[in-house]
Structure 1
Amino acid sequence: MEQSILKAKAWQVFLVLLASYFISWFVKETDAGELLKLVGFSIFCTWLAIIGNTMNQLDKTQKKSSVSWFIPNVVVTMSAPLASKVLSDPEFVVTPTSFSAKGTWVVPVLYFVVAYIQIHWFVASSIVAREQGQKPEFSQVLGTAILLFLWPIGVWFIQPRLNRIFNTIQADTIDYPLA
């Protein structure tokens, strides 16, 4: 199951990631539209979490301690828009597309931003590390991280790389059945 994300085609992932965002464009009720955007954001974060965990399990060069920040940061990133919606405080607004904070809310929102950046960076670093077989440098990870931030375009470049990683695993081991 964990390597299913490696086998998926770019168009399949694109459709899954885009579905709730696309539907939200046609929903007239604002609360339902916001809920659909939140679902789409959660699906995107889940996609990143699955890729990050799968790559970390496959990659022997990644430090295992970095996962200890990755999972909580995924949870923080996914729960911040929901917490903002539930609290309904005008000084604390986090949506899947924007954020703002005033007063004491600046620190949690700042952590949300750092967590959001970190989950993208972790996934990008894990992908590049698996492709190269060693810990990548900053400049090697930057392009992949930008592609993850710009996911509607990036998925068309990232997913074929994940497919190649899966094919390499299949070719190198006899423990996994050929797909």
Structure 2
Amino acid sequence: MINLYLKAKHWQLFILMLGIPLAYQLYTIAQFFGLQTHPNSISEGGAGVTEVLNENIFYFDYFPYVMVLYVIMFFGWFWSIAIGLQKNIPSEIKMKVKKFKVLFFIPLIYITSIMLLMAGLFSGIRTNSFSLIGWPLYIIILLHLFSMFCIFYSMYFVAKTIKTAELKRKVEFGDFTGEFFLLWFYFIGVWIIQPKVNKLYSDENTATNNSQML
């Protein structure tokens, strides 16, 4: 799986990470506005908006699952770069891979859990059986803030890995500031970051093959 991400072209990742969720959202919006003009959208008895939504907009139920798929693909890209490019880094340079792995999975689990809870909420609304979990608000806020910190650390580590693999030396934040912000604004950055990743992956494979032939 890591090699698939490292070999993937920028346009392929763009479609996977943004194209599919965007297409789903556009489809949902089109269906929603389509109800406004559909002759059967409101029953003769004057069914309310809630009944109409429950009967027709079943595709809202799938939104959390689409988001889970998006999150897995997005985090998979980070993981593949951070772990897959470690072989490009000189052995004398030690990176905190274990720390990255721990902090990487925290937001992944948190976001996935939130999306699955949302899926249950949507399902409960349709059956009029939903109830809110009585967690204290401050716990949710703390979990959210800590997850944000973990995501930023993951971007920091991935950007540092790319630049270290490129320069073959220890780097400071100033060396990979550009990569960090490109990962932050990934919908633009993927077009610049991924070609670098492709080259690093190709160079390492070429070097490995040459060493095996000697």
Q: TM-score range by the shorter chain?
A: 0.7 to 0.9
Match of 1:123 in 2: 158
Which amino acid is 1:77 matched to? P
Deviations 1:80-136 (A, max 9, x none): 1222242875898xxxxxxxx932333222210111101111111000000000121
Unaligned runs of 5+ in 1: 93-100
Point out which structure has higher relative CO (alpha carbons under 8 A, 6+ apart): 2
Which amino acid is 1:132 matched to? L
Cα distance between partner residues in 1 of 2:181 and 2:134: 29
Determine what percentage of the aligned residue pairs are the same residue: 22
Match of 1:97 in 2: none
| Aligned equivalent of 1:142, options 168, 174, 177 | 177
Cα distance between partner residues in 1 of 2:113 and 2:203: 41
Q: Report the TM-score, using the length of structure 1 for normalisation.
A: 0.80
Unaligned runs of 5+ in 2: 32-58, 122-131
Deviations 1:33-52 (A, max 9, x none): 23212211221001111111
Match of 1:35 in 2: 65
Query: Does the 8 Å CA contact 1:24/1:37 hold for their aligned counterparts?
Result: no
Cα distance between partner residues in 1 of 2:63 and 2:141: 26
Structure with the larger helix share: 2
**2:162 is aligned with 1:114:** no
Cα distance between partner residues in 2 of 1:113 and 1:130: 26
Cα distance between partner residues in 1 of 2:156 and 2:67: 23
Query: How many residues get paired?
Result: 168
Which amino acid is 2:111 matched to? P
Cα distance between partner residues in 2 of 1:46 and 1:63: 23
Cα distance between partner residues in 1 of 2:134 and 2:179: 34
Tell me which structure has the larger Cα radius of gyration: 2
Runs of 4+ in 1 over 4 A off after TM superposition: 87-92
State the SS of the aligned residue for 1:52: helix
Query: Alpha carbon RMSD of aligned pairs, Å?
Result: 2.7
Q: CA deviation at 1:6?
A: 2.8
Q: CA deviation at 1:18?
A: 2.1
**2:162 is aligned with 1:132:** no
**2:109 is aligned with 1:76:** no
State the SS of the aligned residue for 1:135: coil
Q: Report the TM-score, using the length of structure 2 for normalisation.
A: 0.68
Which amino acid is 1:158 matched to? I
**2:86 is aligned with 1:51:** no
